[in-house]
Amino acid sequence: MNFRIGHGYDVHRLACGRKLILGGVEIPHTTGLSGHSDADVLTHAIMDALLGAAGLGDIGKHFPDSSDVFKDISSLKLLSQVAKIIKKDGFIVVNVDATIVAQEPKLSPFIYEMQSNISNILEIKAINIKATTEEGLGFTGGKEGIAAHAVTLICKESQS
């Protein structure tokens, strides 16, 4: 088998009057993430990890924010497209592990639903999502934004 690993990292700024959507789950909070799409920073990091593993660039290349098609779009829809792109290239996803870095709100009550959303789209059970704060340090600790990291392993049968 031909295994590839991929890494994704994304940041969005917190702003008033925006919904907070993480892993496709709308989370009640006083601020939300700003961005061209729904600004789902977790799903964006996962997509970048998958595209990176497949050697297919990043989400900016596939879904440019200059395009009105992607304005306010659910990032889960974009993730389905990424899943199709990866599959077309002959890859299957082995697992995804991701970490959300947010000072607040408390995300543990929503993790299971986020994992289910991602799991349904990628059609694998091995999705692990974690959340951490940065102890009040930096832009995440100062509640200016939320960051997400993701790693993934994908594989296909090697042609010999």
**Residue 106, both tokens:** 């408390």
| Stretch of 24-32, 44-52, 124-132, 136-144 lying at the interface with Zn ion (CB under 5 A) | 44-52
Give the nearer residue to Zn ion in terms of CB position, either 46 or 127: 46
Q: What span, in angstroms and rounded, lies between the C-alpha atoms of 141 and 150? A: 19
Contacts of 154 (CB under 8 A, 6+ apart): 3, 4, 5, 6, 50, 53, 54, 86, 91, 92, 93, 94
Q: What span, in angstroms and rounded, lies between the C-alpha atoms of 83 and 34? A: 24
The residue nearest Zn ion at its CB is 44
Smallest separation (angstroms) from Zn ion to the CB of 1:
31
Contact between 149 and Zn ion (CB under 5 A)? no
Contact between 44 and Zn ion (CB under 5 A)? yes
Give the nearer residue to Zn ion in terms of CB position, either 11 or 126: 11
**Which residue of 10, 49, 98, 127 would you call a contact of Zn ion, by CB under 5 A?**
10
